[in-house]
């Protein structure tokens, strides 16, 4: 019978000695792994996964750890897998608007590389560009651009994923080896690592807009702000983001503490100038705002120090949802095009469930994006209605529950 000590010793011999790291640096939800590794390439990741699977040990993949409080707390945690050394740009073809990078590359590094060629990846997840590519895809958190620009999963041309079987499977891109019956890109995007570890991704890119400007619009109250935001959206202007902020959210974003609408114009210089003229004529109160305001909202959406909820509701319901959340004592704002409402503050489990019922009554959903382990134990973070599908995928790709066990729910 394999003992825990002998299993860990076998892991140490399976990977180069310079990949081992101090376990104390990788605590999650109050638990510390028995061992930690930072592999240098996808083959070493696959080896570690396979050895952990054979030994019956539980492994958690980690990057910048900006979404460590997403999903249920881990049911078991024996091995930390640090993906940050996988930080190479594999191939970049600017003329084709395509780039392939490893999972440990940060969004900041990626965007800086692309900026040199007048290009960018059209995503703005919380808390900021310090996220890694692997974490961004595994968590699938979106920001203000969602609904105006494609989501991260829609930008993926190819992906490589290491599985507990020891395989590194491919899909899309220049190498096609799809897993029969599944869209590999979408299966792993937002899965919180439940079925394998993303080690590489190929993205389609976009040209950087020639000009960007942020405008702050005010109206009589939150209801008027919602109506104003929808008029802006329906006008077909060159906008990349429209947010409706409650008074608490405006204050947290270092704006005047009143309901308001934040609009980012982006495009050609002429299109942005036209957009600004029309916005100023559409609102009785309109003024310039700093681009840093969007960065503050991204940070607020990721914590720390507060519970963060994300509600999805129809765009027609965003301002009334923001108002209800702020009446409940939370800081709330909405990204109109995606119907995404963010709320942060102190909130108990029964109140989360009450807000989830409100979201469902409005034709939407509620997810817990950031919370203590205790709250994520008491409340299903996702309110998942897809357990049967997740169970089937887990049985096929990770039958022993090696990767992030329990993160998607009990037994998953």
| Lowest mean pLDDT across 63-67, 170-174, 342-346 | 170-174
If asked whether residues 69 and 126 sit together in one domain, one would say no
- Whether 401 is in a domain gets the answer no
- Whether 411 is in a domain gets the answer no
The predicted pLDDT at position 174 comes to: 47
**Count of domains observed in the chain:** 3
If asked whether residues 36 and 106 sit together in one domain, one would say no
Count of alpha carbons within 13 angstroms of residue 62, beta-carbon side:
23
User: What's phi and psi for 88, nearest 5 deg?
Assistant: -95, 145
The answer to whether the predicted template modeling score (pTM) of the entire model surpasses 0.75 is yes
| Percentage, residues of the chain above pLDDT 70 | 96
pLDDT digits (tens, 9 = 90+) for 245-275: 999 999 999 999 999 999 999 999 999 999 9
If asked whether residues 185 and 223 sit together in one domain, one would say no
If asked whether residues 186 and 286 sit together in one domain, one would say no
The predicted pLDDT at position 178 comes to: 42
The predicted pLDDT at position 103 comes to: 97
Check whether 160 has a pLDDT greater than 90.
Answer: yes
- Whether 384 is in a domain gets the answer no
- Whether 405 is in a domain gets the answer no
If asked whether residues 20 and 67 sit together in one domain, one would say yes
If asked whether residues 301 and 260 sit together in one domain, one would say yes
Check whether 19 has a pLDDT greater than 80.
Answer: yes
| Lowest mean pLDDT across 4-8, 201-205, 298-302, 385-389 | 385-389
Domain closes at, from 25, 50, 84: 84
- The mean pLDDT value for 402-406 works out to 94
Check whether 223 has a pLDDT greater than 70.
Answer: yes
Domain that holds residue 114: 89-207
Check whether 183 has a pLDDT greater than 70.
Answer: no
If asked whether residues 248 and 101 sit together in one domain, one would say no
Residue 215 contacts residue 232 (beta carbons within 8 Å): no
- Residue 299: give its domain's CATH number: 3.40.462.10
The predicted pLDDT at position 385 comes to: 63
If asked whether residues 198 and 217 sit together in one domain, one would say no
If asked whether residues 203 and 221 sit together in one domain, one would say no
If asked whether residues 190 and 138 sit together in one domain, one would say yes
User: How would residue 173 be classed by pLDDT, with cut points 50, 70 and 90?
Assistant: low
Question: What is the spatial distance between Cα 366 and Cα 371, in angstroms, rounded to a whole number?
Answer: 13
pLDDT digits (tens, 9 = 90+) for 321-368: 999 999 999 999 999 999 999 999 999 999 999 999 999 999 999 999
If asked whether residues 196 and 215 sit together in one domain, one would say no
Q: How many CB atoms lie within 10 A of CB 182?
A: 15
- Whether 274 is in a domain gets the answer yes
- The mean pLDDT value for 296-301 works out to 95
Cross-strand bridge partners of residue 20 = 37
DSSP string, 109-136: HHHHHHHTTTEE-----SS-TTSBHHHH
Residue 177 contacts residue 169 (beta carbons within 8 Å): yes
Domain closes at, from 184, 207, 230: 207
Check whether 122 has a pLDDT greater than 70.
Answer: yes
Check whether 308 has a pLDDT greater than 60.
Answer: yes
The SS3 call for residue 211 is strand
If asked whether residues 327 and 219 sit together in one domain, one would say yes
Segments in 18-132 forming alpha helices (H):
42-55, 107-115
pLDDT digits (tens, 9 = 90+) for 370-389: 999 999 999 999 876 667 78
| Lowest mean pLDDT across 69-73, 187-191, 407-411 | 407-411
User: How would residue 1 be classed by pLDDT, with cut points 50, 70 and 90?
Assistant: very low
């Amino acid at each position: 019978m394999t003992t825990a000590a002998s299993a860990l010793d076998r892991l140490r011999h399976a990977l180069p000695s310079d990949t081992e790291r101090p376990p104390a640096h990788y605590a999650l939800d109050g638990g510390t792994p028995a061992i930690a590794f930072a592999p240098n390439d996808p083959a070493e990741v696959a080896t570690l996964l396979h050895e952990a699977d054979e030994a019956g040990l539980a492994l958690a993949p980690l990057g910048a750890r900006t979404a460590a409080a997403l999903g249920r707390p881990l049911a078991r945690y024996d091995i930390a897998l640090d993906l940050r050394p996988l930080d190479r740009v594999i191939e970049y073809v600017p003329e084709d608007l395509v780039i392939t990078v490893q999972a440990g590359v940060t969004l900041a590094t990626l965007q800086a590389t692309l900026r040199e060629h007048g290009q960018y990846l059209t995503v703005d997840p919380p808390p900021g560009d310090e996220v890694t590519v692997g974490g961004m895809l595994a968590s699938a958190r979106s920001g203000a651009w969602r609904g105006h620009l494609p989501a991260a999963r829609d930008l993926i041309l190819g992906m490589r994923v290491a599985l507990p079987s020891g395989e590194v499977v491919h899909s899309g891109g220049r190498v096609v080896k799809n897993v029969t019956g599944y869209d590999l890109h979408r299966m792993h995007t937002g899965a919180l690592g439940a079925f394998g570890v993303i080690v590489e991704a190929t993205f389609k890119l976009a040209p950087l807009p020639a000009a960007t400007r942020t405008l702050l619009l005010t109206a009589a109250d939150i209801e008027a702000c919602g109506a104003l935001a929808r008029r802006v959206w329906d006008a077909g202007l060159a906008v990349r983001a429209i947010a409706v902020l409650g008074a608490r959210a405006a204050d947290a974003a270092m704006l005047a503490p009143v309901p308001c609408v934040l609009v980012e114009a982006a495009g050609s210089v002429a299109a942005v100038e036209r957009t600004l003229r029309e916005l100023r004529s559409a609102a009785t109160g309109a003024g310039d705002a700093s681009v840093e305001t969007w960065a503050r909202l991204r940070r607020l959406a990721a914590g720390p120090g507060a519970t963060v909820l994300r509600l999805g509701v129809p765009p027609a319901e965003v301002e009334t949802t923001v108002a209800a959340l702020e009446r409940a004592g939370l800081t709330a704002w909405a990204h109109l095009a995606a119907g995404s409402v963010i709320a942060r503050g102190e909130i108990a489990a029964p109140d989360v469930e009450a807000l989830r019922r409100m979201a469902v009554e409005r034709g939407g959903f509620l997810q817990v994006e950031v919370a203590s382990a205790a709250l994520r134990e008491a409340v299903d973070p996702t309110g998942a209605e897809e357990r049967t599908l997740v169970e089937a995928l887990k049985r096929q790709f990770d039958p022993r529950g090696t990767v992030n066990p329990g993160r998607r729910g009990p037994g998953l």
